[in-house]
Structure 1
């Protein structure tokens, strides 16, 4: 039984190689493109982050630590050439490029666009989309400079306390770290 199973897998592997070498009846739709087919291939991940900041950061699917990161920000050709070794055309926006370099490290770097509520948030409310859309419900003494919709909180306490505010802006991306450490650790 074991011998016949092994023979079956060898035959299946040989059939796969034969089909790949000779193609199928419908060659125009089943073509496998290799990086050597004319496109500039991404280089191996680097331990030096090629971008200073990134708004559209993507963790690559390989589940390792530290993870692989890629910045999908659209760049002008001069920006991309200055910081990346592999620049790829962006089909959705002609004349704009995406850095094809992959960074291997624990920290993908800061966002280019600051979060409207500041660097941290305790009460983050985020959508469950691939790139979350977040808001922060923290009540603060004053809103951060980047906040465009700063609203006072209607307080039920006495008027002796200073007024509190909430930034109602929304941000596409992670909300950032918590302002107060987790008490359960």
Structure 2
């Protein structure tokens, strides 16, 4: 009985977070030093500062989500309001922040669609592997290995230069064995 009440409470919290108005949250951000954009715009503010990002950074203290792209490009998008030279000196970085519930899309596709058990190096741009055991590897996985025979479970052995991406399950309903996927 207690677990169903807890599940209901978590569902209510999830609905409240999903319904949170990003425009209200953006007003609390110091826009004098950082430009805040909405990921899904209606064209009223000139568009997105980037269409996709391989090295995305999230502000951990801001909810629903405040994202910045650290990709080094040859030239910034015309929609970027704060474009600076890369610290490495080989291009430019757009320092605009966007507000979104979801992580911005990546430019380079990951070898997996989602990953609950990511293993990454601790460098500026990490190299990640996904340790999830799944019923079948995604089509974009090049190295798929059988790791369990009965029932058959596979693991993608590919590595990805960048962050592992979204989790497959929400944290409050995560199955640690991943046998259902």
Q: Give the TM bin, normalised by the shorter chain.
A: 0.5 to 0.7
1:86 to 59, 82, 88: 82
Scaled by the length of structure 2, the TM-score of the pair is 0.57
2:62 to 61, 64, 81: 64
Deviation at 1:45, TM superposition (A): 1.5
- Which residue is 1:8 aligned to? none
2:144 to 143, 150, 159: 150
- Which residue is 1:182 aligned to? 174
Q: Is the 8 A contact 2:56 2:104 kept in 1?
A: no
Measured in 2, the distance between the counterparts of 1:60 and 1:116 equals 25
Deviations 1:5-40 (A, max 9, x none): xxxxxxxxxxxxxxxxxxxxxxxxxxxxxxxxxxxx
- Which residue is 1:76 aligned to? 74
Measured in 2, the distance between the counterparts of 1:175 and 1:81 equals 24
Measured in 1, the distance between the counterparts of 2:164 and 2:99 equals 20
Aligned residues between the structures:
134
Scaled by the length of structure 1, the TM-score of the pair is 0.56
Measured in 2, the distance between the counterparts of 1:66 and 1:101 equals 17
Deviations 1:131-185 (A, max 9, x none): 5543222333432232222223353x4xxx6x5432111223134212584369x
1:166 to 155, 163, 173: 155
Q: 1:182 to 1:108 in 2, by over 3 A?
A: closer
Q: CA RMSD in A?
A: 3.2
Max Rg structure: 1
